[in-house]
Amino acid sequence: MWRDAALVAGKDLRVEARSRVGVNQVVPFALLILILFAFALDSDREVLTKVAPGLFWVAVMFAALLGIQRSFVIEADDDARDALRLSGLDGAGIFLGKAGAVAVQLVALEVVLAVGVIVLYDVHLRSPVLLLLTCLAATIGLAAAGTVYGIIAAGLRVRDTLLPLLVLPVLAPVLLAAARACDAALAGTPSEGWPWVRLLAVFATIYVTFGVVAFGALLEEV
């Protein structure tokens, strides 16, 4: 399973590195969200600083949607999904590989966006450990849930418009918990953030487990 996961993740990351869709489109799109909000709320610097965690995760979530869609578009071109099925790779391995590749891209995006938030929103980091664990748990949850719903939508003609409708409500708890935990981390009150991190960890565990168990069967149905 782990060998298959590494193989699929390596392939997906290589495709992204070669196509540069992430660097040329997804990252600028996410930065644009931050900049537009900065313009919109510029007159009230205090509000901007206060809502920074929520805006950061909104930008991450929309960018994640693009990344997840992209992850399945590359399999749809030239019936590559058939090649994936024909390979005999373990379904759980394919899930972990695809979710892992999405997670790696999201982490890179979060680093860029974090710099953007610090520069544009005048934010100061106070509890880095809480912040790191929040990002880790939220990223795993986003990638795992997104990959599960990505494969469900992949076989449908309306997948491009359906995926956001399916995924955004499911990811709402991640957005809420991650924003609250980051809020606590930035405010220097980590004790208020840990319960939200635990919620993120539970969410991530549920979707990773579900994906490992069900992805193979879902891939066959596409």
Partner 1 sequence: MNLAVRFRSAVSLLDRFPALAGVDLDVAPGDVVLVRGPNGAGKTTLLRACAGLVGISSGEAEVLGHDVRADRRAVRRRVGLLGHAAFLYDDLTVADNLRFAARASGSSKAAADAASARLGLDGRLRDLPAGKLSAGQRRRVALAAVVARQPELWLLDEPHAGLDAAGRDLLDELVREAAAAGATVLLASHELERAAALATRSVVMAGGQVRDGLLDAPAPSGQPASASDPGPAPAKLESAHVA
Give the interface segment with partner 1, choosing from 6-14, 25-33, 118-126, 164-172 (CB under 8 A): 6-14
Contact residue for partner 1 among 36, 40, 47, 83 (CB under 8 A):
83
Does residue 93 contact residue 1 with C-beta atoms inside 8 Å?
A: yes
7 binds partner 1 (CB under 8 A): yes
183 binds partner 1 (CB under 8 A): no
85 binds partner 1 (CB under 8 A): yes
80 binds partner 1 (CB under 8 A): yes
Least distance to partner 1, CB of residue 192, Å: 44
124 binds partner 1 (CB under 8 A): no
189 binds partner 1 (CB under 8 A): no
Contact residue for partner 1 among 13, 41, 74, 170 (CB under 8 A):
74
Kindly list the residues in this chain that would bind partner 1 in the complex (CB under 8 A): 4, 7, 11, 14-15, 18-19, 74, 77-80, 82-90, 220
